[in-house]
Amino acid sequence: MEPNDTGMRDCVVVGGGAAGTSAALTLARARHEVLVVDAGQQSNLAATGIRSLVGHDGQAPADYYAAARSELLAYPSADFHRGTVTQGVREEDGGFSFVLDDGRSERARTVVLAPGVEYRHPELPGMAERWGRSMFHCPFCHGWEVRDQPLGVLATGAEGVRGSLNLRAWTDRVTLLTNGGELTDDQRDELAAGGVDVDERSISGFDGPGAELKAAVFTDGAELPIAGLLVKTQLRQRSSLAGDLGASLTEPDERLSVEAIRVDPMGSTGIPGLYAAGDAATSVPPSMAAALASGYLAGGSAAVHLATGY
């Protein structure tokens, strides 16, 4: 649907993943003109299936997003652009203007930011091609598929201890790989009491056919057989758009390493008309279920603002 006679849409949603589509659907059902701009780079596309999302457990992520987009576009006030926002500013009248990757300009009364986040894992040979399969950041998403097999955790410090002890729910064979990092005596004692092995050798890479993991390979040439690897990962914003529009970001802490758009429980950034949802706006480990809920709340908040000014 094209913008109204003023050339301004009711809302631009940046990101067409679970949160963005949920927000857009909520707005469209409230009869607001909404444009979703989506680059098609959802972080879980590499996974074989969505996990722990009731009604969709095991569904291929690409199929889920295609179905969600189809549902959204059944509403006449919804529009979709496959691409990116290259520039965004907040105008003096309180509205927002954007330049898209195809050069066209868009203006909107409200915005929902739901671009997802960039997952930054260690740059080790053999990791990129296995990411989202046999190597993962969330045991609740991937632990069941590698249950009862020898597993590793790539981390150190308190986060390595927590991750290793938690992974014991899926197998009794867990090894914490510190890759040369140090542990305190208390941390070693806690791991030993929990039945977790520790290997502090430096890692040269990982081996296995295709996306399958068979072993961690150390710089001394030795190998440790493992079928899956939980990796401490940093989550960072994909662009500067949130800051460009006036939103503030949280500071990543040692435990979560999440850089998130700061929002209240209803998705408001504190900037009138600017909302955020999904992985980009949470300081807790991300999930599809949480993203859907936050998108609904942010979309509803934007709809109320459009109707009332509040």
**pLDDT exceeds 90 at position 285:** no
Name the token pair of 132: 């989202």
In this prediction, residues 22-28 reach a mean pLDDT of 98
> Given this model, what pLDDT does residue 252 score?
78
In this prediction, residues 3-19 reach a mean pLDDT of 87
Residue from 166, 147, 186 nearest 176 by CA: 166
Query: At 2, is the pLDDT very low, low, confident or very high (cuts 50, 70, 90)?
Result: low
> Given this model, what pLDDT does residue 308 score?
96
Name the token pair of 190: 């806690």
**pLDDT exceeds 90 at position 5:** no
Map residue 11 onto helix, strand or coil: strand
8 Å CB contact between 15 and 24: no
Three-state SS annotation for the chain? CCCCCCCCEEEEEECCCHHHHHHHHHHHHCCCCEEEEECCCCHHHHCCCCCCCCCCCCCCHHHHHHHHHHHHHCCCCEEEEECCEEEEEECCCCCEEEEECCCCEEEEEEEEECCCEEEECCCCCCCHHHECCCEECCHHHHCHHHCCCCEEEECCHHHHHHHHHHHCCCCCCEEEECCCCCCCHHHHHHHHHCCEEEECCCEEEEECCCCCCCEEEECCCCEEECCEEEECCEEEECCCHHHHCCCCECCCCCCCCECCECCCCCCECCCCCEEECHHHHCCCCCCHHHHHHHHHHHHHHHHHHHHHCC
Instruction: Return d(Cα 296, Cα 277) in angstroms, integer.
Output: 9
Q: Provide, rounded to the nearest whole percent, the portion of the chain with pLDDT above 90.
A: 89
Report pTM.
0.92
Residue 241 Rama label (left phi>0; alpha psi -120 to 50; beta): alpha
> Given this model, what pLDDT does residue 297 score?
98
Mean pLDDT of the chain: 94
Instruction: Return d(Cα 304, Cα 65) in angstroms, integer.
Output: 26
Q: Domains of the chain by range and CATH?
A: 9-119+234-308 (3.50.50.60), 122-231 (3.50.50.60)
In this prediction, residues 173-196 reach a mean pLDDT of 97
Residue from 31, 14, 197 nearest 111 by CA: 14
8 Å CB contact between 241 and 115: yes
